[in-house]
Amino acid sequence: DQQVKQNSPSLSVQEGRISILNCDYTNSMFDYFLWYKKYPAEGPTFLISISSIKDKNEDGRFTVFLNKSAKHLSLHIVPSQPGDSAVYFCAASGNSGGGADGLTFGKGTHLIIQP
């Protein structure tokens, strides 16, 4: 059973426009969420995170929104640039009482920025 879902395997956006990547989760114990970006032949790199006590976190062109009641988060990239073309992974974690259980990742969304 997938606890973190990224329902769009790929997304194509024109350069300069807004990219919106979505992520849904099912485990109500998750209380910390992260986005990672991955280029081919490289490991994922941390992009931005958000704690469940917030509903928005912003870092430059990147903003993450969290809707706890809907168990949904989204990553907005404005404006989109060619270098943003990569696979984006949503990840979640939560202290289930027995210590950290590692990050639970979605399967990723391949973002393609078109010139």
Which positions lie near another protein, rule CB under 8 A?
A: 32, 34, 36, 41-46, 49, 51, 89, 91, 93-95, 99-108
- CA distances, 45 to each of 1, 59, 71, 81, 90 (Å): 26, 15, 24, 17, 12
The token pair at 95 is 């202290």
Provide, rounded to whole angstroms, the least separation between the CB of residue 30 and another protein: 9
Q: How far is the CB of 88 from another protein (least distance, A)?
A: 12
**CB nearer to another protein: pick between 15 and 101:** 101
- Find tokens 């979505």 and name the residue: 22
Least distance from C-beta 90 to another protein, angstroms?
10
- Read off the tokens for 40: 């081919």
